[in-house]
Structure 1
Amino acid sequence: MRRVTNCILKQNNHILMLKKPRRGWYAMPGGKMESGESVKQAVVREYKEETGLELVEPKLRGTFTFIIKENEAMKQEWMMFTFLCEQSNGELVEFCNEGELEWVPLGEVLDKPMAEGDRFIYKSILTYDDLIDGTFTYTDDYQLIESNLNPSSN
């Protein structure tokens, strides 16, 4: 099972988002954990590698399981640990290997094209103060089949 971390960085009523080139979908900067890393170490390292920014006191806000199915059979499964942070140090890089970085006004975040699971995650983490957990099941072409969030984002 893959383990990944990412972070929603909220500053000045904007969220730093990463537009991935493959589908043009927006996502939270982050990436794969390395062997022996804590989730917090991983998110700080990955965020800095992708953005140039060092997160200051990121808080774990969500733990999620993602399942990819092909013809009803599980093809992939991974865990994602999502943090929220409201302060960073450093300067944003001019170029990111993973895609295009963009400060998006808070009110426009949910209007951006993204995976439906990510939309639920943004909405939930930006709405609730509690730790959120959930499971998202997708087809192999990333169409959301089912989601289960606690607390519910409805």
Structure 2
Amino acid sequence: MAPGGKMEPGESIKESAVREFSEETGLAIKNPEMRGSFTFIIRDGDETVQEWMMFTFYCTEYEGSLLEESEEGELEWVPVAEVLSKPMAEGDRHIFNHILTSNEQVYGTFVYTPDYQLLDVDLDPTDPE
């Protein structure tokens, strides 16, 4: 799982990403670029029971040192070639695949069951091959 969290009042999307990354990793990212905007929908039958948005950034520059411990879990550096082999939600696999293989902004909607079984994915543009 990548660092992330909720926005604070008055904070921009980019400010939130920089703050959350710093809080969870100890690293100050520089020049993050938004690469994805996503809607996540939880459906129980025909009823939408939860919905939220997520914005994904890509960054290669940072300052600081990785925290030895994080309240969010164990931190580790992962070679790019190994990212998709890590355990993650199936929708996240689509997001990482796109961001690691394309410089294009991607927009998407993911529909899950209440127990997080992926029902549907709609990406624009679609996953690169």
**One-letter code of the match for 2:28?**
E
1:57 Cα deviation after fit = 0.4
Structure 1 residue runs of 4+, over 3 Å off? none
- Separation in structure 2 between the aligned mates of residue 86 and residue 61 of structure 1, nearest angstrom: 13
Tell me the TM-score normalised to structure 1 length: 0.81
**Relative contact order (alpha carbons < 8 A, sep ≥ 6): 1 or 2 greater?**
1
Count, aligned residues: 128
Distance 1:39 1:68 in 2: 23
Residue 71 of structure 1: CA displacement? Answer: 2.7
1:40 corresponds to 2:22: no
Is 2:43 the counterpart of 1:61?
A: no
Partner SS, residue 114 of structure 1:
coil
- Whether 1:144 aligns to 2:118 is yes
Structure 1: gaps of 5 or more residues = 1-26
Write the mapping of 1:32-111 to structure 2, written as runs, cut at 5 A: 32-111=6-85
- Name the structure with the higher strand share: 1
Q: How far apart are 1:112 and its partner, in Å?
A: 1.0
| Aligned residue identity for 1:127 | T
RMSD over aligned CA atoms reads 0.9
TM-aligned CA deviation for residue 72 of structure 1: 2.6
Give the counterpart letter for 1:114 in structure 2: M
Identity of aligned residues (%): 56
In structure 2, the gaps of 5 or more residues are none
Matched ranges for 1:3-22 at <5 A: none
Q: Deviations over 1:105-139 (max 9, x none)?
A: 11111111110110000000111111110000001
Q: TM-score, normalised by structure 2?
A: 0.96
State the Cα deviation string for residues 43-98 of structure 1 (Å, max 9, x = none). Answer: 00000000000010000000000001123311111010100000110111111111
Secondary structure at the counterpart of residue 76 of structure 1: strand
